Amino acid sequence: MNPQQSPFHIGRYLVTGKLGAGGMGVVYLASDEHLNRQVAIKKLHANPNSSNAHQRIRQEARLLAQLNHNNIVQIYDVVEDGADIALVMEYVDGCSLDRWQREREPNLRQKLQLLKQICEGLTRAHSAGIIHRDLKAENVLVDSSNTIKITDFGIAKNWLEDSQITREQHVAGSWGAMSPEQAQGKPLDNRSDLFAFGVLAYRLLCGQNPFGDGSSPYTVIDRIVNNPHPPAIKLNPDLPQALCDLLDRLLAKNPDQRPFNAAAVAAEIEHLLQDERHSTDSFTRTESVTATVESYYHRQHRKRRWQKWLLIPSAVVGCLALLATLAYFGFTQMPEHETEGRYIAVVSPDWQPDSDAQRLLKSNVMSALKQGLSTRDGLLLIPFSESRKFAGQSLEQQARALNAQLLLVPQLDCNDTTCELTLDLINANSFAVVASRSTHLAPTESLGSRSRTLYQLNYLLPDYPANDAGDIQPISAQHYQRYLELFEQRDDERHQKEILDALEQLQQKASTFAPLYEFYAAIAFDYKYNSNSTEAGERLAAILQQVPQAIAHTPEVLKAKLRLAIIHNDPIQAEKLLTQLHLTLPDHAAAHYLSAIYYQQRGETGKALEDIDKAIALRPSYIYRVQKAMILSRGGELEAANAVLQEAIAQNHDTVFAISLLAGNLLDGGQPGETIRLLTRAGLDRIGAMDTYNLCLAYYIEQRYTEAQSCFKRVSDLAPKDADPLLYRAEIAREQQQPEQARALAQKALALTIGRDDWEGLLMQARAYAELDQAEKAVENLIRIRRDAPDDLYVNYARAQVYITTGDLLSAKAHIRKTLEQGISPIWYCTAQFAKICNLPAFDDLRQQYPGLCGGAKHNNKADDSQIARNGETSANL
């Protein structure tokens, strides 16, 4: 509570202070004036982020009401006032267990006494069927008399009941303290809490988390699921052997190997307390011990790398055992080329429909195949967004580009009333047909055709059974037909807003159809980056707030939420979602690929390269190589990027993606003529809005203003809410002695960005203000974004544009120098906008240091990355 804030009432309770706060709510210290005692009140925020926060706090109240034990915080009352709800609980005059340990030097006996009390509290909860699910030192309080109180039952669950609030397959809890079965979304019982208790006890007794405290949840969860913990005796040799054995059993991966219940653990701890050998109150940690959890895991990792070669004679048995432990994770300590299944790609049919009904049937079949293949044990489906890029190429070319082991080739043969669907399964090594099935479909029966397509897969793939996730998600035939119609328009960049409108209407009628949210997010994501509009993010946030709880943690919805986190530049939420996707997606390569895209967006090149290299190690596909080249380009390593692009082009030379990225790199490196040649040869009908933008920039740098003006106008038509092409058009109009047109274009650009407070919008505003001779406002905007905007080439080049336009030559020079040091080609400063630096003595040193400035030394075409050129591949691949 703010020190200046006066006491206030919640119900009959007088609030006198604040004990703590979190994402869901705040905990106050209050006085019960009727009973004359202090209480703690847990009150929700007025607008909690969680859509089911009220359900959770009510559930916590119901569960606590069942528990009356000295080692569990007691609930006294529930106060509801309209939409507000608060829990009135026992006030514990003390601190959390982790703080208690930090501020004291407890001996072994004191630690064991506390651990025994925790077990006694757990015994009471478990006897009522309640599992805590988030047992950690922060949720255990120690009062002034050293009495333990377990608190925060916010995600607790009665494992005998079916709760939609915290159902299975929803990974709830704290990453460093959850059991292996909890991390994998499996059914839980009391033994999951015993694992968490083992983590807590290990930390209390050894001073470290048994799985490390690294910043990456991926690493911690991987260790919990796949790797043995360091024996406690290695970190603390003074611990009794019986206590170390107990810790090992508590931390067993298999619940059946853990103690039966908390009462049994309490009994073992009591036996240790009564043992005369451990009854002394003196306990001193051996000072010579320097072992750490991290050093243990690093040694094990090196040891496993050698054992890989030493154990080749038993490779078959060892491989089976290791693969069994790899569920849900693509970031284990095993070599990255190990994987859980065979990659299968669906070849896009080359059949051309004769009617709208047949066209929708084609989409229906592909959608059904996606569902049916993505839920089969032992198969990893290569995304359609990737495989469809190679439609029309030979099977050999597609298999090589996708790095697929199996190909599924659908063929449709239609007459006036029905279509025959044939499915051929092909081994990508021998290109032999290993299985084939056919069935008749009615184009007018969408759900019936979907079901029959799914049914054929059961016969075609008997060795890869469908798991429970393969059920058809509820949607009516009419609404499914509408979904297919909208999905057919997914590549229509000119009508993305209208597609979003239609999807919002459909969502009101088919809210539990998870693919709808992934499709909506993909359109919104592209719309945002094509238009530079904040509208897309706002609309995506609104529709995701309406996701039913039953599908909130499906991969489709998680991917949609990830796109929103990227749009909102919310790293905490994004990394949480990536962790959930790493746990959810069976294809580890796809999970690493998503992480690489995210870190690239964040400008964290090192992390992005680490993830994309892991993806390539698992499946060296064309798309992953192009993504790696994009990351290298952003990091200023154009030579390395172009080498990777050559590998990608060798893998598949019939697609435009690597060629367009190469064109962007050449533009960044100061070769606009080569960029123009490559992109015009590819054809305007084949390149997207971002490549068109790069073509416009190439014309602009070459001072081919008529072509540049026409080109930027085309970009404005494709992305009417993007201010950037308007600003370049304004610059060109000014250089062509058309001041009125220049001002009108700058005013239009400013109007598009007014109201935005993100750094990109403010940067565009600054450029517009500079064009409109409002220097003070332009500089104010640059000051506002100095903490949020990345210190990269794009931002610094834009700053140089603002300062040169407003006449602040010293600031312009500073940013010109910075971009040149960062690798921008000097040719970017050979435009009319920067002509004045060629004659001013103040720029002599820059011209001497960089001879390419002002047209010298043939522009000094330096192959470094300027990152002024755009690339739209990210939005297409996420």
Residue carrying structure tokens 């697609």: 655
Pairing of strands 379-381, 342-346: parallel
Is 43 labeled as ligand-binding? Answer: yes
Separation between Cα atoms, residue 6 and residue 12, nearest integer Å: 16
Is residue 134 annotated as a catalytic residue, yes or no?
A: yes
Counting other chains too, the contacts that 417-422 makes at CB distance below 8 Å and 24 or more residues apart are: 417/442, 418/442, 418/443, 419/358, 419/361, 419/443, 421/365, 421/452, 421/453, 421/456
Place of tokens 């066209």: 359
State the DSSP string of 12-64: TEEEEEEEEE-SSEEEEEEEETTTTEEEEEEEE-SS-S-TTHHHHHHHHHHHH
> In 30-179, which residue ranges form alpha helices assigned H by DSSP?
53-65, 97-103, 108-127
What residues pair up with 424 in beta bridges, in sequence order? 409, 436
**Of 789, 670, 668, 798, which Cα lies nearest the Cα of 724?**
798
Q: Which of 273, 183, 171, 286 is nearest to 226 (CA)?
A: 183
Helix H or strand E segment including 439: strand 433-441
3-state helix, strand, coil in the chain (%, to 5): 55, 10, 35
C-alpha angle 84-89-93 in degrees, rounded to nearest 5: 130
Pairing assessment for the beta strands 342-346 and 406-414 based on DSSP bridges: parallel
Rounded Cα distance between 158 and 36, Å, is: 34
Q: Which member of 32, 81, 98, 134 is catalytic?
A: 134
How many distinct helices (H) and strands (E) make up the chain? 37, 16
* DSSP conformational letter for 859: G
Q: Are 696 and 685 in contact (CB under 8 A)?
A: no
Strands of 37-44's sheet, edge to edge? 8-10, 13-21, 25-32, 37-44, 84-90, 75-81
What letter does residue 342 receive in the DSSP assignment? Answer: E
Q: Report residue 213 as tokens.
A: 């405290």
- 143, two tokens: 């009062």
- Binding site members: 43
Residues taking part in catalysis: 134
- Binding site members for ATP: 43
